[in-house]
A and B are shown apart, each in its own frame.
Chain A
Amino acid sequence: DTGVSQDPRHKITKRGQNVTFRCDPISEHNRLYWYRQTLGQGPEFLTYFQNEAQLEKSRLLSDRFSAERPKGSFSTLEIQRTEQGDSAMYLCASSFEGLNTEAFFGQGTRLTVV
């Protein structure tokens, strides 16, 4: 297992377009998290899955954002009608179930909306 992988690594899109990102977690991990990081800031929580169930969503996740994790394996994060303010690094992390388990992060997808 090569760790958490995210695709694409970079995405440039025009304002108003839809984009979709993919995250493949470490295969034994049943928890998957999406975070967003803007320049000079730490990551901010967006949403988290335990297996295929989306258990928590941040208020940062507007109606234009949707995340899925069909079959409890890979996850997708879609942003509809992108805005310039959506430009950020989108990070995925996965972990085992448990209160204090280590999270493993992917390399992130850097989105630029022009």
Chain B
Amino acid sequence: KNEVEQSPQNLTAQEGEFITINCSYSVGISALHWLQQHPGGGIVSLFMLSSGKKKHGRLIATINIQEKHSSLHITASHPRDSAVYICAVRRGSARQLTFGSGTQLTVLP
């Protein structure tokens, strides 16, 4: 079993819909990251969380440390949000990230 599991693997939405992507992890962590990857490979960091909730524009990320679960929400989705969204955790005192397999999001106009 992977240490970081994401769901769903693929998600298609209509423009304007509210989107939720889930991430569960099975190890102790010091931080959880949400990242966005567009075709071509480049990865952009969206959020780094160790507790609670963060908001940036139409994006909201939450984490429940006790339940080892995080969610990424996108409000009023837009076709330009189409990308792969990846959850990654930093285990304990480790320096590197452990990644989930990503969620492919497609937002249709």
Q: Which residues of A contact B (CB under 8 A)?
A: 31, 33, 35, 37, 40-45, 48, 50, 55-56, 89, 91, 93, 99-100, 102-108, 110
Q: Known: A89-B41, A99-B93, A100-B30. Is A45-B101 also a contact (CB below 8 A)?
A: no
From A42, A50, A55, contact of B88 by CB (8 A):
A42
From B44, B96, B99, contact of A56 by CB (8 A):
B96
Q: Which residues of B contact A (CB under 8 A)?
A: 4, 30-31, 33, 35, 40-45, 48, 50, 86, 88, 90, 93, 95-102
**Please, which residues of chain A bring their CB within 8 A of the CB of B30?**
99-100
A11 to B56, CA, bound (A): 36
A88 to B22, CA, bound (A): 26
Q: Known: A42-B88, A100-B31. Is A91-B43 also a contact (CB below 8 A)?
A: yes
Q: Known: A42-B86, A42-B88. Is A103-B99 also a contact (CB below 8 A)?
A: no
**Please, which residues of chain B bring their CB within 8 A of the CB of A103?**
33, 45, 97
A105 to B35, CA, bound (A): 10
Within the complex, the shortest CB–CB distance from B78 to chain A, in Å, comes to: 23
CB-based contact A107/B40 at 8 Å: yes
Q: Would you give 13 A-B contacts (Cβ < 8 Å), ordered by A?
A: A42-B99, A43-B99, A48-B95, A48-B96, A55-B95, A56-B95, A99-B31, A100-B48, A102-B48, A103-B45, A103-B97, A104-B45, A105-B43
Closest to B2 in A: A42
CB-based contact B42/A107 at 8 Å: yes
Rank and list the top 6 A-B pairs by shortest CB-CB distance, nearest first.
A42-B99, A108-B41, A105-B43, A45-B96, A107-B42, A100-B31
**Please, which residues of chain B bring their CB within 8 A of the CB of A55?**
95
A50 to B30, CA, bound (A): 19
A40 to B104, CA, bound (A): 9
Within the complex, the shortest CB–CB distance from B69 to chain A, in Å, comes to: 17
Closest to B50 in A: A100
**Please, which residues of chain A bring their CB within 8 A of the CB of B41?**
37, 89, 91, 107-108, 110
